[in-house]
A and B are shown apart, each in its own frame.
Chain A
Amino acid sequence: MSPVLAGVLQMLALVAALALAYRPLGDHMARVYSSTKHLRIERWIYRAIGADPATGMRWPAYLRGVLAFSAVGVLFLYALQRLQGTLPGSLGFASIDPDQAFNTAASFVANTNWQSYYGEQAMGHVVQTGGLAVQNFVSAAVGMAVAVALVRGFARSRTGELGNFWADLVRGTVRILLPLSVVGALVLVATGVIQNFSGIHEVGQFGGGTQQWNGGAVASQEVIKELGTNGGGYFNANSSHPFENPDGLSNLFEIFLILLIPSAMTRTFGRMVGSPEQGYAILATMATVWLGFTALMMWTEFSHHGPAFDLAGGAMEGKETRFGIAGSSVFAVATTLTSTGAVNSFHSSYTGLGGGITMLGMQLGEIAPGGVGSGLYGMLITAIVAVFLAGLMVGRTPEYLGKRIGTREIKFTACYILITPALVLCFTAAAVALPTPADSMTNTGAHGFSEILYAYTSGANNNGSAFAGLNADTQWFNTTLGIVMLLGRFLPMVFVLALAGSLARQSPVPVTAGTLGTQKPIFSGLLLATVVVVTGLTYFPALALGPLAEGLAS
């Protein structure tokens, strides 16, 4: 069997697995967020928090919950790293410096998981398992909560209430993420991912002598790293490390986990607004982008243009033998079209165009299918832009799911769309214009520029993958990327929740013959065009200086 055919069959298997999980998981999530019942463990948690889960929150209260919980998360994770040197169970690892501790705390709370540290030689058990892994759960649950709040904004009428943040946070964690993680972690262990607390220990080696391994609770962290579209690796090499991703099957399973919740959330959305077809229309756009990007990536990586790859006879630099070109390409696209950022191969050593595809995937706003929660609200925001454009064409007040998209709504939408590109382009320009940040580049020329563009693209979109040649452990990058990740995560959430509040107050507009059929294939096409035009054009000049220049030169 040719490697290309094997890659295509792996994609088919992936599509089949996602399709099988789509309805049950999507319906389950819709029930979780609509239920009025509380599990016993949830009641205990609410009592500990001191929150009444039945209290409906208006959007400012919901937002305050999100921000308070996340602010505490940053402070807690920062303190944990700063105190690592004195905490037990830290394997003797030293405390993390202030700039790097801030960067890492911001990164994990913002669901980015950008890492400027070496996992296996910087973080002990306590920080990894009790700090970083916990944010993998709760930052994902926060993203899902905000998405659900927006969906409720569409589904509800003449109310300002979007639900209870604490209830959504706890339910997302307890009823969705935890059960899936327990099962997924054990599947990963069965493929060979390690799960122990042996710390650093000596192991015999072939030919005599010993080697030192770093053990840890890897499988339990690996599964939520993919499932929660987080991406922060236990080890420096992330999901290319054989202890995180031992074979082709674990690789396919991890890609499945990355795409599972974001794609199924379109079903949740459809169910909650009372029309699964609305979810299918969005899913169709997501799937088209995902399949198109994967095909392009396979094409460019298999044809391996670039002097070093021509010499080697294939683009295997930075890729593992057991995954090959196909398994690496599928993973790279899935991780950058979601907000995951885990890598099983190193994007900096992709072909020029391949590297560009990973960057463009993030720049589209990570909406195909996007991060857990953030993918859905990102795509719904784009859908609002699409109906607005359609409304302009025919001269009608645009409406979506029975809600008018008026001045107020379109202002929030525009702010959402503008934040991320502004962060990416301004900070990239500053880093390139200033004298010292460029010292961090490993490669020169167009690829060096790409390293910096990639870093801010990844930070602002909460992805977390890197053109890892960039030495990001400097005060400049730790600080600016930390700020970019926080702003790129929480400013858009402000506008999403404000929009949700505004929609929830409206009375529904009756469907007439002139209503745009947003459940139809033609709308999926319009949505696709909007994604490409709005976000694609924003970044074209920057992409032309980096990956396009490199790709066209080779």
Chain B
Amino acid sequence: MNTSAGTTARLLGAGLRALLVLTALCGVLYPLAVTGIAQATLPGKANGSEVTVDGEVVGSHLIGRRYDLPPKDGQETPEPDLTWFQPRPSNGLGTNSVNTQYALVLSGATNRSGDNEELIDWVTDAKAAVVADNSVPGHPVDPADVPPDAVTSSASGLDPHISPEYAALQVRRVAERNDLPVHRVAELVRDHTEGRILGFVGEPRVNVLALNTALKELAESASAH
């Protein structure tokens, strides 16, 4: 019995030493080496692909965010600021429930199934809102033209992109709100539409932050003249 307990202790001791050595290798040296190389060669990407305008960081090329009006008193969900191109809904975005000392950007999906009543309501409401917001006099939006990404939440809740179709749908509204000619805004969307990588990898998309940054520049230069 004593020898068996001794053997077990020796074996666990060997296991612990193996774990500690491999932790030093895989948990300390390896991440430090990769971080060192990444920071030396690709610092911009390794630090989150920050987008800078006039020396000011305005966000990440990769992280989507909302473009809302400041919430009015007693309002639970802020209204979208229709001056800007709107991103996808993000009903599943997490809230700081564990670490309330921070106001972290959290990620998360709704996890609602296709037959979930709440999801059906969200999609119905989102569709009605997209149609109402983007219909301008003389150019009503046909509900059948609203693309799926406009009315569904993404997986991360931080989707930085919208489909080119959803961007195109917003052109008239954005032009009207910014007092810009429609063709200029449409051109902006075309310039910011990215195709599939190598022609077949991923999906066509428009980066909303890049588009709104360019829109802001365009609106400012137009009002300056």
Residues in B neighbouring A70, C-beta threshold 8 A: 15
Using known A-B contacts A320-B154, A349-B114, A467-B111, determine if residue A203 contacts B50 with beta carbons closer than 8 Å: yes
Question: Within residues 136 to 186 of chain B, which ones have a CB less than 8 A from any CB in chain A?
Answer: 144, 146-149, 151-163
CB interface residues, A 208-239, toward B, < 8 Å: 211-215, 217, 219-221, 224, 235-237
**A120 close to B (CB within 8 Å):** yes
Contacting pair B114 A554 (CB below 8 A): yes
Q: Would A240 and B56 count as touching, CB distance under 8 A?
A: no
What mask results when residues 1 to 17 of chain A are scored 1 for a CB within 8 Å of chain B, else 0? Answer: 10101100110010000
Distance from A2 Cβ to chain B, minimum over Cβ atoms (Å): 11
One of B35, B113, B200, B212 near A9 (C-beta < 8 A): B200
Any B CB within 8 A of the CB of A251: yes
Known: A242-B158, A316-B148, A322-B205. A138 touches B26 (CB 8 A): yes
For residue A267, CB closer than 8 A to chain B, the reply is no
Q: How far is the CB of A18 from chain B (nearest CB, A)?
A: 16
Residues of B within 8 A of A237 (CB): 107-109, 155-158
Is A488 part of the contact surface with B, judged by Cβ < 8 Å? no
Cβ-defined contact, B111 with A69, below 8 A: no
Query: 1/0 per residue A313-350: CB within 8 Å of B?
Result: 11111111111101110000000000000011110110
Task: Please tell me if the beta carbons of B65 and A206 are within 8 angstroms of each other in the complex.
Answer: yes
Residues from 3 to 49 in B contacting A, C-beta threshold 8 Å: 8, 11-23, 25-28, 30-31, 33-35, 37-39, 41-42, 45-49
Q: Which of B12, B59, B203 has the most CB of A within 10 A?
A: B203
Q: A189-B38, A196-B39, A319-B154 are in contact. Are A3 and B203 (CB under 8 A)?
A: yes
- B189 touches A (CB below 8 Å): no
Please state if B104 and A311 are interface contacts (CB–CB under 8 Å): no
Confirm or deny: B62 has a beta carbon within 8 angstroms of a beta carbon on chain A: yes
Chain A residues, CB < 8 A from B113 = 306, 308, 348-349, 352, 355, 443, 447, 469, 550
A472-492 contact mask (Cβ, 8 Å, vs B): 1 or 0: 000000000000000000000
**CB <8 Å contact, A182 and B213:** no
Nearest residue in A to B36 (C-beta to C-beta)? A195
The answer to whether B110 touches A317 (Cβ under 8 A) is yes
Quick check: is A19 within 8 A (CB to CB) of the other chain? Answer: no
Is A307 at the interface (CB under 8 A from chain B)? yes
**Residues in A271-329 with C-beta less than 8 Å from chain B:** 304-309, 311-324, 326-328
Which of A65, A118, A308 is B119 in contact with, Cβ under 8 Å?
A308
B197 at the interface (CB under 8 A from A): yes
* Residues B58 and A72 in contact, CB atoms below 8 Å apart: no
Stretch touching chain B among A125-133, A152-160, A427-435: A125-133
Contact of A235 among B15, B59, B107, B213 (CB under 8 A): B107
Alpha-carbon separation in the docked complex, A1 to B203 (Å): 10
- With a cutoff of 8 Å between Cβ atoms, the chain B residues found around residue A541 in the complex are none
Pairwise interchain contact B196-A1, C-beta atoms closer than 8 A: yes
In angstroms, Cα B34 to Cα A221, docked, is 10
B209 touches A236 (CB 8 A): no
Instruction: State whether the Cβ of A532 lies closer than 8 Å to any Cβ in chain B.
Output: no
How far apart are the CA atoms of A323 and B163 in the complex, in Å?
A: 11
**Complex Cα spacing A113 to B195, Å:** 34
The answer to whether A6 and B196 have CB atoms under 8 Å apart is yes
CB distance from B22 to the nearest CB of A (A): 6
> Chain B 186-225 against A: per-residue CB contact (8 Å), 1 yes, 0 no?
0000000000111111110100010011000000000000
Residue ID in chain A nearest B156 by CB atoms: A237
Tell me if A215 and B48 are in contact (CB < 8 A). Answer: yes
Q: Are A120's CB and B65's CB within 8 A?
A: no
Among B77-136, those with CB < 8 Å from A are: 88, 92, 94, 96-99, 101-116, 119-120, 123-124, 127
- Are B123 and A6 in contact, with the CB atoms below 8 A? no
Q: Given B49, B127, B161, which contacts A192 in the complex, CB threshold below 8 Å? A: B49
B19 touches A69 (CB 8 A): yes
Tell me whether A1 and B148 are in contact (CB under 8 A): no
Residues on B with beta carbons closer than 8 Å to the beta carbon of A368:
none
Beta-carbon contacts under 8 Å, A343-394 to B? 343-346, 348-349, 351-352, 355
Interface-central residue, B123, B152, B202, by most chain A CB under 10 Å = B202
C-alpha spacing A467/B114, complex, angstroms: 13
| Interface members, chain A 435-478 (any B CB < 8 Å) | 442-443, 445, 447, 467-469
Instruction: Report yes or no: B202 in contact with A324, Cβ–Cβ below 8 A.
Output: yes
Pick from A122, A327, A344, A550: contact of B115, CB below 8 A.
A550
CA distance A181 to B65 in the complex (A): 32
A550 to B104 alpha-carbon distance, docked (Å): 36
Contact of A122 among B16, B99, B103, B105 (CB under 8 A): B99
Q: Does B1 contact A (CB under 8 A)?
A: no
Minimal beta-carbon separation of B104 from chain A (angstroms): 5
Asked if A207 is an interface residue, CB under 8 A from chain B, the answer is: yes
For residue B110, which residues in chain A have a CB less than 8 angstroms away from its CB? 317-318, 346, 349
CB <8 Å contact, A48 and B17: yes
Contact A344 B155 (CB under 8 A): yes
**Chain A nearest CB: distance from B36 CB in Å?**
9
The answer to whether A173 and B153 touch across the interface, beta carbons within 8 angstroms, is no
Compute how far the CA of A379 lies from the CA of B197 in the bound complex, rounded to whole angstroms.
Answer: 36
Given contacts A308-B115, A308-B119, A348-B112, contact A192 B62 (CB under 8 A): yes
A309 / chain B contacts, CB cutoff of 8 Å:
114, 148
> A321 contacts which of B28, B149, B198 (Cβ < 8 Å)?
B149
Cα–Cα distance between A496 and B154 once the two chains are bound (Å): 41
Partner of B111, one of A117, A316, A348: A348
| A-chain residues with CB within 8 Å of residue B201 when the two chains form the complex | 6, 10, 13, 248-249, 251-252
Interface positions of A from 170 to 204, Cβ below 8 Å from B: 170, 173-174, 178, 181-182, 185-186, 189-198, 200, 203-204
Question: Which of B105, B113, B153, B155: most chain A CB closer than 10 A?
Answer: B113
Select the residue from A70, A122, A237, A315 with max chain B CB neighbours within 10 A: A237
Query: Please, which residues of chain B bring their CB within 8 A of the CB of A196?
Result: 35, 38-39, 46-48
Complex Cα spacing A238 to B6, Å: 43
Beyond A189-B45, A317-B114, 6 additional contacts (C-beta under 8 Å) are A6-B200, A205-B65, A235-B156, A312-B123, A318-B110, A322-B159
Q: 3 smallest A-B Cβ distances: which pairs?
A: A248-B202, A306-B114, A314-B148
Contact sample, A vs B, 27 pairs, CB 8 Å cutoff: A49-B14, A68-B11, A68-B14, A69-B18, A120-B104, A121-B99, A122-B98, A129-B27, A182-B33, A186-B37, A200-B102, A205-B59, A219-B46, A242-B160, A252-B201, A306-B115, A311-B120, A311-B127, A311-B151, A312-B123, A312-B148, A313-B148, A316-B148, A318-B152, A445-B115, A468-B111, A553-B115
Q: Which residues of A contact B (CB under 8 A)?
A: 1, 3, 5-6, 9-10, 13, 45, 48-51, 64-65, 68-73, 76, 92-94, 117-118, 120-122, 129-131, 133-134, 137-138, 166, 169-170, 173-174, 178, 181-182, 185-186, 189-198, 200, 203-207, 211-215, 217, 219-221, 224, 235-237, 240-243, 246-249, 251-252, 304-309, 311-324, 326-328, 343-346, 348-349, 351-352, 355, 442-443, 445, 447, 467-469, 550, 553-554
